[in-house]
Structure 1
């Protein structure tokens, strides 16, 4: 009998010994700082126990450039729809200014509904495109690992809006399953699509052609449609929008479709937004497209231009100075005080308690999967002194109880290290950057950390 040894440690004799543990315990117990830390840290979040009040004092909630807004803060709850929330927050600002509204919220679950249907079709088409790959190949395993995620990018948002339009939230409100889509609904849809992927691949192995399988796809989409329509309810085909503006004047627009609502009442062209990323590992001034990521088959593919942070900073500031919000991708949990909403490199003093200080660069954090965009918010302000940005103001979608009444203060140093993407109107982007879109595109593995789907 031949014994096969699984891959693992180089040397089994290098175990973590009781003698080594005793030595570490003795060293730890003799350290006064460690003893103090284990009194103050265990029963509170790091952000509270190690909050650096001196850093907080350096960043008052004052911004030289700030977009006026009195509307409510949105809340994505237990879902990965930040990309939809942030983008619709940009659109609603334009509408509120246009119609002089006290408040307005556009329906995130409306786009979520169609995204699930489109994403199911997208997944099935990717399965059909990869039938000849081995089941254990990285591409197939990646598709099966996340067949219908909640998260997305701006190109995917634009594809939905251009095809289905938008509606006010009161026309198509939340349900339990849209607000809590990260749990049961995600599991159910994912399980069903994985099973159908197995059925498709097994049938292909038995001789079924792509054309044969595509005929079966309708029945799969019928099943997904039923699940989503029951869980999220069917959206309206036509509706009447009636509202009162700040001076009390009543406006009414009768019997309009969601697409007409978008075209006639939203003064924002979602197709005129460019997605910039900062990935120091890759060549700058090149456009990138991640494999397999998208939602609407036939729509423009998800495309990014890789640029230095100086260009992202320049474009974001131009947008704010012109009174226009812009969405951005960030590493949400890094060095963040939830109580104050401050994101700063020293806002949590890990060094004081744990005697640690990271020396990793942004490129190294991406390479070793320590950092990357995992959330989308929108820039709504900046504080500039002597021509230099000191801090940024961002609108979150976690409700008003989090951050500072729903707004986050981001130091420019944190911006440099932990912001990875910016989705901004093309007119705020230098021409030589936009010209990159006319050149060859670099294909990136869809599971690359810099281009992973934010939630």
Structure 2
């Protein structure tokens, strides 16, 4: 190994001191910060928030200090439909309700994976992976489908936000403490030769404690409730004694089996037009398997445009922190000219970013519009879940080039796919490792 010598560092410092351009940039960056000094106003000018296709939505929602973007995005796609069907000006489904059941199911999913790997050493990469983050707020499209299919949904009025759903750090901290401690017991039971029935009995006791913890922290999930609202024509409506399942069937009515996840992962280990799943990725034991169809970006965007043209918004996953301005809500590859500020080439290809840990899906939002010029998309309208104080009343704009580089997943109706694409999706999936970037949770 070669060390850094004092002489080498002194040479670097001297060269910098003699470069007047870099000294001028130093003053700006030290005073204002990297991004503020590098921000390119042309990105805002080129991504004016007007779109040729614009799906009607209500006001944006706010996930606050939690990682529930994937839930908010899914519930928002349903909310768009309900606003139109019921002539509502504003309405939200309960994010706290889905949050409760997701945490509950993730605990059981963790226990079962701990039991499945109990014959492996603690130093095993799979066991270490499980223990590093037993559960978290994030998730995948197929995981929220499993929650809806098992538990239905409820209006926000039936289970409002709680302090711990809006700021989930304490819930996650103590829930993960308990899960790690329970993992010790479960692994010891397996090592001592206890029967499966004996182990499951202990696990049931743990799940009772999990249920109690969640109920005390988040409130009790409703089993029966009344749904009342007044529409935009001032007509009053009420239906009594609905269950979460009957409410979903009557007022949402989306057949979730009609939708599939499309990804764009242009790495050598993931050929296009093949299906993929990820080992140990899920939340509901016995629920829907996480599965993707990998396609090229041209196909990816064509499917998205078609669904938007038909008036339906799209759940999508991306790396939101890359080349984006949180305050103005511009996501564009030219948002910051950091290369020019430092005279350093920071560029990588999309495949290189995935392979070398520079990017992965970090956030889920909703595509609600697209601007099409001469048949090609130029920019995309994005409904975020960070409240109305960012972007254009909470809506962001993504340039088409940004979509190419930092968008990884969309959820599309099956009937928009070709027979060949459906066959590829339904074929036996290639199983990816738990730590593969396509296993990232939004």
Alignment TM class, shorter chain as reference: over 0.9
The correspondence for 2:312, drawn from 301, 324, 332, is 324
Describe the shift of the 1:375–1:266 C-alpha distance in structure 2 as closer, same or farther (beyond 3 A): same
1:160 matched residue in structure 2: 147
Q: Is contact 2:281-2:439 (8 Å) kept?
A: no
1:174 matched residue in structure 2: 161
Q: Does residue 189 of structure 1 match 2:175?
A: yes
Q: Does residue 118 of structure 1 match 2:105?
A: yes
Secondary structure of residue in 2 paired with 1:156:
helix
Deviations 1:334-368 (A, max 9, x none): 00112221111111110221112333111111010
The correspondence for 1:86, drawn from 73, 79, 82, is 73
CA distance in 2, matches of 1:210, 1:131: 13
2:225 matched residue in structure 1: 239
Q: Is contact 1:47-1:336 (8 Å) kept?
A: no
Q: Is contact 2:115-2:190 (8 Å) kept?
A: no
Pairwise CA distance, 1:196:
0.8
Deviations 1:152-204 (A, max 9, x none): 111111111111111111221111111111x2111111111111111111222
User: How many residues align structurally?
Assistant: 440
CA distance in 2, matches of 1:194, 1:219: 15
**Could you tell me the TM-score, scaled by structure 2's length?**
0.97
1:420 matched residue in structure 2: 408
**Could you tell me the TM-score, scaled by structure 1's length?**
0.94
1:277 matched residue in structure 2: 263
CA distance in 1, matches of 2:324, 2:183: 40
**Greater mean deviation of Cα atoms: 377-386 or 169-178:** 169-178
Q: Over aligned residue pairs, what C-alpha RMSD do you find? A: 1.3
Q: Is contact 1:242-1:252 (8 Å) kept?
A: yes
Secondary structure of residue in 1 paired with 2:315:
strand
Gap runs ≥5 in structure 1: 1-10
Pairwise CA distance, 1:424:
1.7
1:354 matched residue in structure 2: 342
**Greater mean deviation of Cα atoms: 35-44 or 97-106:** 35-44
Q: Is contact 1:48-1:337 (8 Å) kept?
A: no
Secondary structure of residue in 1 paired with 2:3:
coil
Structure 1 residue runs of 4 or more that deviate by more than 6 Å after TM superposition: none
Q: Does residue 37 of structure 1 match 2:25?
A: yes
Describe the shift of the 1:197–1:245 C-alpha distance in structure 2 as closer, same or farther (beyond 3 A): same
1:8 matched residue in structure 2: none
The correspondence for 2:212, drawn from 226, 238, 255, is 226
Pairwise CA distance, 1:386:
0.4
Pairwise CA distance, 1:60:
1.5
Describe the shift of the 1:32–1:430 C-alpha distance in structure 2 as closer, same or farther (beyond 3 A): farther
Q: Does residue 199 of structure 1 match 2:191?
A: no
The correspondence for 1:252, drawn from 202, 224, 238, is 238
**Greater mean deviation of Cα atoms: 321-330 or 22-31:** 22-31
